[in-house]
Amino acid sequence: DVKVTQSSRYLVKRTGEKVFLECVQDMDHENMFWYRQDPGLGLRLIYFSYDVKMKEKGDIPEGYSVSREKKERFSLILESASTNQTSMYLCASSSRGLGNNEQFFGPGTRLTVL
């Protein structure tokens, strides 16, 4: 059974804290993605990576950074958390193929920044 796992289901942090969200996939996928989901806005792409140590900005990268040191692991970093980063964060992965891009999602991390 293929899996994408995320380090926490729920997380509460204070404004200004550094936050790490981790994602691991066991499908040997090349591509990994971080989204945030907000009511009425759907899924918005923050960053993605198509190979180890490679990263590309998505639609809303401001306030975030990422790290991909190993193929199976993709980390999202909030350098200084702010209240407007309270959201559901979803990690996904897909195989290298372009176009036919079914993505597999983790269960999500509900982050609250106080």
Residues lying near other proteins in the complex (CB under 8 A) are found at 4, 9, 31, 33, 35, 40-45, 48, 50, 58, 90, 92, 94, 98-108, 110
The residue (of 9 and 14) whose beta carbon lies closer to other proteins is: 9
Q: Give the up-direction half-sphere exposure of residue 67: CA atoms within 13 A in the CB hemisphere.
A: 9
Closest CA to 19 of 32, 30, 10: 10
Distance CA 47, CA 55 (A): 7
- Least distance in Å: CB of 94 to other proteins? 7
Residue at 95: amino acid letter: S
Task: Indicate the residue among 4 and 66 with the shorter CB distance to other proteins.
Answer: 4
State the nearest-atom distance from the C-beta of 16 to other proteins, in Å. Answer: 27
